[in-house]
C-alpha cells in the first residue's frame, strides 16, 4: 500500500483527498519510482481544484512532476537506485502522477537527476522552473544576449516567473519584472530584477505598435499582456510565450512580426523531447543559484495542505514555488 492524493469524478460529482492505494492499481509502465518529492504547478492547482479539464482519466493521482529513486526497472536506461526527475508527458493528466509515495512511469520519460540537486531542489524547480529555462533557451536560440537590452518577465512572482528572473539576472540580463503584487518588489529585486513594473500597465488594450523597449520577453500571462509585450518588443527581438495565467486569447495584430521582425517563440514543456529536457536540466544545474531557489521555495507535506496551497495558487496570491515533501 502507498499514500496518494486521489481525484475522483462520477455520478456523485468531484471528490479529492489523501488515501491509501494498493501498488497493484498503479498503471502499466516499465519503471517503478519511490517518489521523494513532488510539487504544485499552476496545472496541478487546476487539477486539484477541478477548475479546468486538466484530468482526462478518472480516477487520477495528480502531480505532473516527481523526483525520487528507481525501485524496479524493465527499461534498459534505468537501474534500481538511480535518481531521476519526471516533468510532464501527460502524467497527472492521462497517467497517474507523483503526488503519491509510488509512481509507475515510462523509462523514456525520465531524466537523470543532476548531481547538483537533491530531489527536493529538483521539485523546487519543477515544471515551472524547467519551463523558465526553456524560455531562456528560446531567447538565446534567437540571438537575445545580455547586451541586447532589457528583458521583460511577466507573472514575475509566479513559479515560472521567479525562476526566469533568477536565471536571466544570473546570466547578466537586465530584467524588468512585471507583477500585480507591488508588495513583492523587494522579493523580485532579491532574485535579481533590475526594476519592477506594475502589471496593470500591460493589461489594458494598446496600439498594435508601441514604443520599442524589450529585447526579449518571457510571458506567462497570454491575452492582452502578451499582445502588449509583442507591440513593445524592439526590432528583431523575441517573445517566449509559455503561459495563459491571464488568458488563452491573443488579441494582437501581425504588425510587430511583419514590421519589426519580432519572433513569437512558443514554449512547451510537456512533450519536449528528451534531449531538450536534458539540456535544460544541465543548464539549470549550471545557471540557477541554489540560494535564490531556496528563497523562492516553501515545503508542505502530502495531505490537506496540498489542497489549501492549490486554492491559493488559483487565487493568484501565492509567490514562488511549492515543494511537496513525500519521503
Ligand atoms: P503561478 O500560479 O505560480 O504564477 C502565475 C503568476 O501570474 C501569478 O503569480 C501572478 O503573478 C500572475 N497572475 C495570476 N493570475 C493572473 C491573472 N488573472 N491576470 C494576470 N496575472 C495573473 O503559475 P506558473 O508560474 O507555474 O505558470 C504560469 C503560466 O505558465 C500558467 O499559465 C501555466 O499554465 C503556464 N505553464 C506553461 C508551461 C508550458 O509547458 N508551456 C509549463 C509551466 C507553466 P504576478 O502577481 O507577479 O503578476
- Is the pLDDT at 316 greater than 90? The verdict is no
The three-state secondary structure class of 11 is coil
Note the helical H segments in the chain: 42-49, 119-141, 159-170, 185-191, 200-203, 223-231, 255-259, 274-287, 290-295, 304-314
Does ligand 1 have an atom closer than 6 angstroms to the CB of 285? no
Does ligand 1 have an atom closer than 6 angstroms to the CB of 158? yes
Distance CA 179, CA 256 (A): 23
Distance CA 103, CA 70 (A): 10
Residue 23 contacts residue 72 (beta carbons within 8 Å):
no
Q: What angle do CA 295, 247, 139 make, to 5 degrees?
A: 60
The CATH class, in words, for 127-266 is alpha beta
- Is the pLDDT at 294 greater than 90? The verdict is yes
Q: Cell for 63?
A: 502531480
Arithmetic mean of pLDDT, 3-32: 96
Nearest CA residue ID for atom 8, ligand 1: 158
Does ligand 1 have an atom closer than 6 angstroms to the CB of 298? no
Distance 320 CA to ligand 1 centre (A): 10
The three-state secondary structure class of 136 is helix
pLDDT at 52: 82
- Is the pLDDT at 317 greater than 90? The verdict is no
pLDDT at 121: 98
The Cβ of residue 192 has, within 10 Å, a number of other Cβ atoms equal to: 20
Residue 286 contacts residue 114 (beta carbons within 8 Å):
no
Give the chain's mean pLDDT.
97
pLDDT in tens, 298-314: 999 999 999 999 999 99
Residue 199 contacts residue 178 (beta carbons within 8 Å):
yes
Q: To which CATH superfamily is domain 2-113+296-325 assigned?
A: Medium-chain alcohol dehydrogenases, catalytic domain (3.90.180.10)
The residue extents of the domains of the chain are: 2-113+296-325, 127-266
From the list 38, 280, 40, the residue with the least C-alpha distance to 167 is 280
Query: What is the pTM for the complete model shown?
Result: 0.97
Amino acid at each position: 500500500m502507498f499514500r496518494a492524493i486521489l481525484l475522483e469524478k462520477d455520478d456523485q460529482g468531484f471528490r479529492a483527498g489523501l488515501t491509501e492505494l494498493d501498488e497493484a492499481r498503479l498503471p502499466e509502465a516499465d519503471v517503478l519510482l519511490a517518489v521523494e518529492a513532488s510539487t504544485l504547478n499552476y496545472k496541478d492547482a487546476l487539477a486539484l481544484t477541478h477548475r479546468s479539464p486538466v484530468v482526462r482519466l478518472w480516477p487520477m493521482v495528480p502531480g505532473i512532476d516527481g523526483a525520487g529513486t528507481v525501485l524496479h526497472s524493465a527499461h534498459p536506461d534505468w537501474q534500481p537506485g538511480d535518481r531521476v526527475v519526471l516533468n510532464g508527458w501527460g502524467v497527472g493528466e492521462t497517467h497517474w502522477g507523483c503526488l503519491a509515495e509510488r509512481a509507475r512511469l515510462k523509462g523514456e520519460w525520465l531524466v537523470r537527476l543532476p548531481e547538483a540537486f537533491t530531489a527536493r531542489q529538483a521539485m523546487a524547480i519543477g515544471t515551472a522552473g524547467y519551463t523558465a529555462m526553456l524560455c531562456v533557451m528560446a531567447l538565446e536560440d534567437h540571438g537575445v544576449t545580455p547586451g541586447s537590452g532589457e528583458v521583460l518577465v511577466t507573472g514575475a512572482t509566479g513559479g515560472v516567473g521567479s525562476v526566469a528572473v533568477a536565471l536571466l539576472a544570473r546570466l547578466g540580463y537586465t530584467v524588468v519584472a512585471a507583477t500585480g503584487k507591488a508588495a513583492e518588489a523587494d522579493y523580485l529585486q532579491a532574485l535579481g530584477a533590475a526594476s519592477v513594473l506594475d502589471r496593470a500597465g500591460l493589461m489594458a488594450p494598446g496600439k498594435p505598435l508601441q514604443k520599442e523597449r524589450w529585447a526579449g520577453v518571457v510571458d506567462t500571462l497570454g491575452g492582452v499582456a502578451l499582445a502588449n509585450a509583442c507591440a513593445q518588443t524592439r526590432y528583431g527581438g523575441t517573445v517566449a510565450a509559455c503561459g495563459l495565467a491571464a488568458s488563452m486569447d491573443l488579441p494582437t495584430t501581425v504588425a510587430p512580426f511583419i514590421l519589426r521582425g519580432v519572433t513569437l517563440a512558443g514554449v512547451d514543456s510537456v512533450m519536449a523531447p528528451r534531449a531538450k529536457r536534458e539540456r535544460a536540466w544541465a543548464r539549470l544545474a549550471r545557471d540557477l543559484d541554489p540560494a535564490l531557489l531556496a528563497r523562492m521555495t516553501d515545503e508542505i507535506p502530502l495531505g490537506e495542505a496540498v489542497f489549501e496551497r492549490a486554492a491559493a495558487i488559483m487565487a493568484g496570491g501565492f509567490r514562488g514555488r511549492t515543494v511537496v515533501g513525500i519521503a
